[in-house]
Amino acid sequence: MSPDLAVAIVVAIVGVSTPILLAALGELVVEKAGVLNLGVEGMMLMGAVIGFAMAASTGNPWLGVLAAAVAAALGALIFGFLTLSLSANQVATGLALTIFGTGFSALAGKAFLGKTIPVFGAVFPPELAQHPFGRVFFGYSPIVYFSLFMVVAVWWFLTRTRAGLILRAVGENDASAHSIGYSVVGVRYGAVAFGGAMAGVAGAYFSMVGTPMWAENLTAGRGWIALALVVFAAWRPYRLLAGAYLFGAVMTLELHAKAAGGWFSVVPPEAWAALPYLATIFVLVAISMRRSGSTSAPACLGKPFLPTA
């Protein structure tokens, strides 16, 4: 394999992995707080359409990304209000949010069908990305660097800050956290909004970087892969990074193998498509067989918090 091709493959993997990583990072924080939001796909679509709309109308991609984050966070807050303030069932509310986001994005995007915007591309001067190895480091959209920064930031927040400790406590044992005097609902609101904003940026990556256009159902189910990834990574930010790039590598290499021909392309494409989900189930099984506390699901995941006092 020539160095150029190797670099190209790495760059492609980064492109495929970034949106999944972003959405999954958001959902990781949400789940660490004990909330399961199945609305990732819907929030990504909301972010994708609003990000595109804003970038197309203002010409400013940064505003686009910001709008995507805000729009999806607002969507997440619908979920938050129902599940946190009104203790509604999280599974049902999350699915409703996905249905809503899909419908909303289709309606809101009607005016933007068939339009294009410039790719929200490389942020560094092109000279830096000219050498193949320069390209590996300097050839990406700002959103890519943001996603990597957020991996560190989320890890630092969860493990090194007091706020992160509280958030994990809320996810592990909401009753105790409540009795010590922390606002369980308040913390979860913050987490849910953060998760929405991240899903929104992930959606914007599709409509502004990957394929700078809007089309209905643009994200085509990637939100569910992000949900799988959180579990696959056993709720740890660094494993999430590795997992996202692993998933991305499988998806990218599959295409390259088909283009190159050869043994890899003998495996049915459906097997590759099912792999993230099956791998996630295996990871879940492995986690529970080992039973080391820090890698298992947050204890309160998906359960409504009903303060008795």
Partner 1 sequence: MQFRLERRAEPSRLMLYAAPVAAVLLTMVLGAVIFSLMGYNGVGAVIEIFTRPITNPLKWQDLGIKAAPLIIIGVGLAIAYRANVWNIGAEGQYVAGAMAGTAVALLTMGMEGPWILPAMIVAGVLGGMLWGAIPALLKTQLDVNEILTSLMLNYAIIQLLGYLLRGPWRDPMGFSFPQTPLFTASQSLPYLWRGTIMHWGVPIALVVALLAWFVMSRSVFGFQVKVVGSAPNAARYGGFSAKRTIWLALLVSGGLAGLAGILEAAGPFRQLVPGFNTGYGFTAIIVAFLGRLNPLGAIAAGLVLAITYVGGEIAQTTIGLPSAATGIFQALMLFLLLAGDIFVRYRLKAVAPRPAGEAA
Partner 2 sequence: MTMLPRRTILKGGIALAAMPALSGIALGQEKLKVGFAYLAVPGDYGWTYAHDQGANDLIKALGDKIEVTKVENVGESGPNVERVLRELAQQGNKLIFATTFGHMEAAVKVSAEFPDVIFEHCTGFKTAPNLGTYNARFYEGRAVIGTIAGHMSKAGVGGYLASFPIPEVVMGIDAFCLAARKVNPNFTLKVIWLNTWFDPAKEADAARALLDQGVDVITQHTDSPAPVQVCEERGAICFGQASDMASFGPNACLTSIVDNWGPHYIRATQAVLDGTWVSAQPWEGLKEGVVLVTPYNAKVPAEVAAAADAVKQGQIDGSLHIFTGPIKDKDGNEMVAAGQTPDDGFLLGLQTYVEGVQA
Q: Interface residues with partner 2 (CB under 8 A)?
A: 5, 8-9, 12, 15-16, 106, 109-110, 113-114, 116, 119, 121, 206, 210-213, 215-216, 218-222, 251-252, 255-256, 258-261, 269-270
Which amino acid is it at 216? E
Distance, CA of 228 to CA of 221 (rounded, Å): 11
Which pair of tokens denotes residue 26?
């958001």
Residue nearer to partner 2 on the CB measure, 2 or 308: 2
Kindly state the smallest distance separating residue 114's Cβ from partner 2, in Å. 6
Range in contact with partner 1 (rule: CB under 8 A) among 18-26, 161-169, 180-188, 226-234: 226-234
180 binds, among partner 1, partner 2, none (CB under 5 to 8 A by kind): none
- Residue 72 · residue 16 · CB < 8 Å: no
| Using rule CB under 8 A, residue 218 touches partner 1 | no
Distance, CA of 69 to CA of 205 (rounded, Å): 11
Kindly state the smallest distance separating residue 215's Cβ from partner 2, in Å. 6
| Using rule CB under 8 A, residue 202 touches partner 1 | no
Kindly state the smallest distance separating residue 10's Cβ from partner 2, in Å. 10
Roughly what angle, to the nearest 10 degrees, separates helices 184-205 and 61-80? 140
Residue nearer to partner 2 on the CB measure, 214 or 305: 214
Rounded alpha-carbon distances, angstroms, from residue 262 to 5, 39, 218, 274 = 16, 39, 31, 21
Please identify which residue in the block is written with the tokens 């049915």: 268
Which amino acid is it at 172? E
Which pair of tokens denotes residue 98?
């996905």
Distance, CA of 294 to CA of 292 (rounded, Å): 6
| Using rule CB under 8 A, residue 302 touches partner 1 | yes
16 binds, among partner 2, partner 1, none (CB under 5 to 8 A by kind): partner 2
Which pair of tokens denotes residue 178?
């409540």
Sign of the dihedral through C-alpha 166, 193, 158, 172:
positive
113 binds, among partner 2, partner 1, none (CB under 5 to 8 A by kind): partner 2
Residue nearer to partner 1 on the CB measure, 104 or 120: 104
- Residue 280 · residue 48 · CB < 8 Å: no
Roughly what angle, to the nearest 10 degrees, separates helices 222-232 and 269-290? 30
| Using rule CB under 8 A, residue 37 touches partner 1 | no
| Exposure string over 65-93, b if 16+ CB within 10 A, otherwise e | bbbbbbbbbbbbebbbebbbeeeeebeeb
Exactly one of 58, 87, 130, 179 binds partner 1 (CB under 8 A); which one? Answer: 87
Kindly state the smallest distance separating residue 34's Cβ from partner 1, in Å. 13
Which pair of tokens denotes residue 66?
């910001």
Task: State the residues that interact with partner 1 by CB under 8 A.
Answer: 36, 38, 78, 81-82, 86-89, 91-93, 95-97, 99-100, 102-104, 106-107, 110, 216, 221, 224, 227-228, 231, 268, 270-271, 273-274, 277-278, 280-281, 284-285, 288-289, 297, 301-302
